[in-house]
Every structure is written in C-alpha cells, then in structure tokens.
Amino acid sequence: MAEPGLFVVEVAAAGDKTAFAFQEALAARWATATADGTMRSPGEPGVRLRNAARPPVTPHPLPNREVRIPAAGVHLGGRPGLPDEAQAVVVFAHGSGSSRHSPRNRYVASVLNRTGLGTLLLDLHTEDEEGDRVGVFDILMLAQ
C-alpha cells in the first residue's frame, strides 16, 4: 500500500471462524477495511484473510524483557508484550529460521502492542537446539 500509515494484515488461521474472529478484534481497535471471505491455497492447510488497516498510535513503548517458558521438560525463550488494555494476545511461534530476536518480528509485535494487542514472540527451539540447522524444520519435534 502506498498510503503512509496503512498496513496490510494477512491472517493465517485454521478455519474461517478463527480468521473472522481475529478480523473482528482487529476492526474493534483499528480503522480496518474488512474482507468478505477467506482464501485457501491448494495443498496448504487452513485459510488466509487479508485486511488493509490503520493502527492507532499510543505513545508508550513496552519494556524490553525476556521470559523462559517451561514446556515438555525444557524451557523456551520468549519476548512478551502486554499492554495494560490488551484483550487478546498474538503468538509468533518461531521454529524455522526466525526467532524472537528478529528485528522485523519485533517491529511487527511493537506495532500490534501500540494498538492494544498483546504479543508473545516464542522460540520453539531451546538454546541448545538453535544451532542445529537440521532440526529447524523438524515439525514433529516442534509440535511436542
């Protein structure tokens, strides 16, 4: 989009109900051009929904902090962003090459935080597993 301050928000969800629920939550906080239907890609699970949105701006950035979340006998690193007024949290599950340290992912999370949505940038690999490039795409291990 060429208009300053306008974002394209693409939602990937398991089904129509989840995609439209996210769209509704987004529209309650942002000036949003809503979509009438979802898109399906042949051979790929789930649905996609695309919106053009203009987020409101709040002046205070959230503190930069790290958390460790226990899961299946290990601890996973995360970076939460939880505005006081948050009624929903968007989880970024990183497992295939990106991480909670990615400047691009941190920027997207900060934009969502300024609109009042909570975020959690979560790495699905432990610190010991991060160096193993073979395991990056081990979907069965990541799902455990």
Q: What rounded mean pLDDT belongs to the chain?
A: 75
How many structural domains comprise the chain? 2
50 with 77, same domain: the answer is no
How far apart are alpha carbons 142 and 139 in whole angstroms?
Answer: 5
50 with 72, same domain: the answer is no
Q: What is the pLDDT of residue 74?
A: 82
Task: Name the strand (E) or helix (H) holding 143.
Answer: helix 139-143
Q: Is the pLDDT of residue 1 over 60?
A: no
Q: Name beta bridge partners: 11.
A: 49
- Using the 8-state DSSP alphabet, how is residue 137 labeled? G
Q: CA of 123: how far to CAs of 60, 77, 100, in Å?
A: 26, 6, 6
41 with 86, same domain: the answer is no
Q: Do 19 and 47 touch, CB atoms closer than 8 A?
A: yes
Range of the domain at 15: 7-54
Residue 2: what are its φ and ψ, rounded to 5°? -90, -10
How far apart are alpha carbons 7 and 115 in whole angstroms?
Answer: 12
> Is residue 59 situated within a structural domain?
no
Chain segment 55-65, per-residue pLDDT in tens? 665 555 556 78
Q: Do 104 and 82 touch, CB atoms closer than 8 A?
A: no
Chain segment 72-112, per-residue pLDDT in tens? 788 888 888 888 878 888 888 766 667 776 788 888 888 88
